[in-house]
Amino acid sequence: MNDDYHPELAEYEPHGDRPLRSQRTTLLMRGLVILTLAALVVPGVLTSISFAEATAMRICRIWVAYEVNEQNRPLVRFEWFSRDGIAGWECYAVTASGEQHVKSLGVIPEAPELSDGTMLPAIDS
């Protein structure tokens, strides 16, 4: 392959040891890429967390009404080291004597089901 075969490269002179872009421009571009990726990912993560918390609260309300009574206020928290040994949502009932642990709901809360397979009814809020 010679210059006749690629005429667009006939008068090309490489930059030598100097980089194509300055260090400042490269750093600015990297920052912009990281900021853009965060802008794409963060809303999805926040939406997922909000949805999981709302689901856990509805399920906790059902468990509190079944196990304690309907007058107690349900409380859910995500705990990294829960009673089951894994991270997940924990359901508590706020009673006059303090918080009473009701149920471990897991990382992804699911419909309340008793050990015999009976589904607990939903509660109108």
103 CB neighbour count, 10 Å cutoff: 21
Within a domain: 122: no
Within a domain: 9: no
Q: Do the Cβ atoms of 99 and 78 come closer than 8 Å?
A: no
Residue 4 pLDDT: 61
Residue 117 pLDDT: 66
Within a domain: 112: no
Within a domain: 52: yes
Count of structural domains, the chain: 1
Within a domain: 8: no
- Predicted model pTM: 0.68
Within a domain: 41: yes
| pLDDT values of the chain reduced to their tens digit, one per residue, 125 residues | 454 677 777 777 776 777 778 889 999 999 999 999 999 999 999 999 999 999 999 999 888 888 887 788 889 999 898 777 788 899 999 888 888 888 888 888 887 777 666 777 766 55
Within a domain: 54: yes
Q: Do the Cβ atoms of 96 and 81 come closer than 8 Å?
A: no
In sequence order, the 6+-apart residues with CB closer than 8 A to the CB of 88 are 78, 79, 82, 104, 105, 106, 107
| Full residue range of the structural domain in which residue 67 is found | 20-106
**Residues recorded for the chain:** 125
Burial of 91 per CB tally in 10 Å (0-12, 13-18, 19+): buried
Within a domain: 87: yes
Cα 60 from Cα 112, distance rounded (Å): 9
